Amino acid sequence: MTPTESFAPTSDPPARFPLAGLAALGTAGFITIMTEALPAGVLPAMGADLSVSGSAAGQTVTIYAVGSALAAVPLTAATLGMPRRKLLLIAIAGFALANTITAVSSSYALTMASRFIAGVVAGLLWALLAGYARRMVTPAHRGKAMAIAMAGTPVALAVGVPAGTFLSGIVGWRYTFGLMTLLSVALIVWVIAAVPTFAGQTRDARLPLRGVLTIPGVAPVLFVTLTFVLAHNILYTYIAPLLTEIGMHDRVDTILFVFGVVSLFSIWITGALIDRHLRPLVIISCALFAAAASCLGLFGGNIWLVYVSAAVWGLGFGGAATLLQTASAEAAGPAGDVAQSLVVTCWNIGIAGGAVTGGVLLTSTGPSSLPWAATALAVPALVTTIMARRHGFTTSFRTPAPSTAHVISADK
């Protein structure tokens, strides 16, 4: 039988909610974020072992984001015809390879190459996860499925990266990257056991990139993604200098812990409500972030209000990845995987752009300007979300047309 090309859910949804399979997808996201962010916690030791400065070691994070931004769209477009599980396994294996090289390399150039490879497979995996999760469930459970598949992000930021940094101080940063390789290998087995495989798209069913961009609703989602993530990273990347200026240099870890814990709570709320309330959740998310950023600008001298701002910020940010990728998938329909790759590209541009923009502001106008720059970006994101009522951020999910898409056997 020839597989069809729709990216809609299967015609025969599972009788039970596929929690194990969706948790495997969430673990894939966890590995992605851990691989991306772990160097930030081990820069001094990493730089010393590679005989480079801390600043040079920090570029291992930058090149990862560059790899994701460059590869997400072309790789997704090139692999639309591949069986989805095979592609997922290739991406996970890519992390195992890249983290192994990082763990054993004594060459800065080789380490940078491995980090670029990790960024490339990350761009592919992020574009794949959202559509995969949605195809595993009935339309009524798409949002819940997305929340579980995207939960790896806040878990990694709130728990994984701090734990990895702590472990690196005990056993060394190389063993921590080696542990990520072992987790990737275990995940491959888990995916084979618990995640179904779906057909790819036939060539005549694929929309060109320009066609995807002209689908009503896709452009507003991409704009909100770019401005929201750019604003977040201006603050998050340089939170230490900002807190240092207001006399809280010794509380950076506590502030980030508050942010992370509330982000986990946010992803839980998102999973519970997204299937019925996508639009208000995105509006609230943007509004909370804008309020938190402006509060940091106005009342940064008040310690308790800084903690409150961090909590509000986490509440607004925790579910953002799920909300934006769901909105993109809903707007794009069958072209969802390509739309997801565009979201991934905008997300990574936001990460890199936030680091650059925040660095310029830090040097030119000082840390106090960072919250206001974030607010100036969050407000247009909020306005765009409110305006995109008919397309992009709608009140309810579309009802898909009947589809002949199906799960294909594991040996195909």
Quick one: pLDDT at residue 316? 94
Do 235 and 382 sit in the same domain of this protein?
yes
For residue 198, what are the β-bridge partners?
407
pTM confidence score: 0.76
Q: Are residues 146 and 242 in the same domain?
A: no
Looking at the structure of the chain, the number of domains it has is 2
Residues 190 and 220 in one domain: no
| pLDDT value of position 105 | 95
Q: Are residues 50 and 154 in the same domain?
A: yes
Instruction: Decide if 404 is inside a domain.
Output: no
Note whether 171 and 215 are same-domain residues: no
Nearest to 355 by CA among 110, 40, 70, 42: 40
pLDDT tops 50 at residue 6: no
Q: Would you place residue 240 in the very low, low, confident or very high pLDDT band (cuts 50, 70, 90)?
A: confident
Size (the chain), residues: 412
Confidence of residue 406 (pLDDT cuts 50, 70, 90): very low
Condensed to tens digits (0 to 9), the pLDDT of residues 281-334 reads 999 999 999 999 999 999 878 889 999 999 999 999 988 988 998 888 888 777
Task: Evaluate whether residue 411 is within a structural domain.
Answer: no
User: Does residue 317 belong to any structural domain of this protein?
Assistant: yes
Q: What is the pLDDT of residue 211?
A: 66
The answer to whether residues 52 and 67 belong to one domain is yes
Residue 412 lies in a domain: no
Q: What is the CATH number of the domain that holds 251?
A: 1.20.1250.20
Same domain, 160 and 257: no
Q: Specify if 253 maps to a domain.
A: yes
At residue 204, does pLDDT exceed 70?
A: no
According to the model, what pLDDT value does residue 93 have?
97
Q: Is the pLDDT of residue 399 over 50?
A: no
**What type of residue is 362?**
L
- Residue 4 in any domain: the answer is no
Residue 142 CA to residue 339 CA, distance in Å, equals: 17
Amino acid 409: pLDDT: 34
Instruction: Assess if residue 229 is contained within a domain.
Output: yes
Residue finishing a domain among 172, 206, 240: 206
Confidence of residue 202 (pLDDT cuts 50, 70, 90): low
Tens-digit pLDDT profile for residues 29-72: 999 989 988 887 787 788 889 998 876 887 888 889 888 888 88
If asked whether residues 216 and 198 sit together in one domain, one would say no
Given a cut of 90, whether residue 221 has pLDDT beyond it is: yes
**Do 193 and 245 fall within a single domain?**
no
**20 pLDDT higher than 90:** yes
Which one of 206, 226, 254 terminates a domain? Answer: 206
Is the per-residue pLDDT at 139 higher than 70?
Answer: yes
124 and 267 share one domain: no
Whether residues 145 and 158 share a domain: the answer is yes
Answer yes or no: is pLDDT of 257 > 90.
no
Asked whether residue 93 falls in the same domain as residue 124, the answer is yes
Burial of 374 (0-12, 13-18, 19+ CB in 10 A): buried
The answer to whether the beta carbons of residues 242 and 300 sit under 8 Å apart is yes
Full domain range(s) for residue 318: 207-397
Task: Identify the domain boundary among 175, 206, 237.
Answer: 206
Asked if residue 403 belongs to a domain, the reply is no
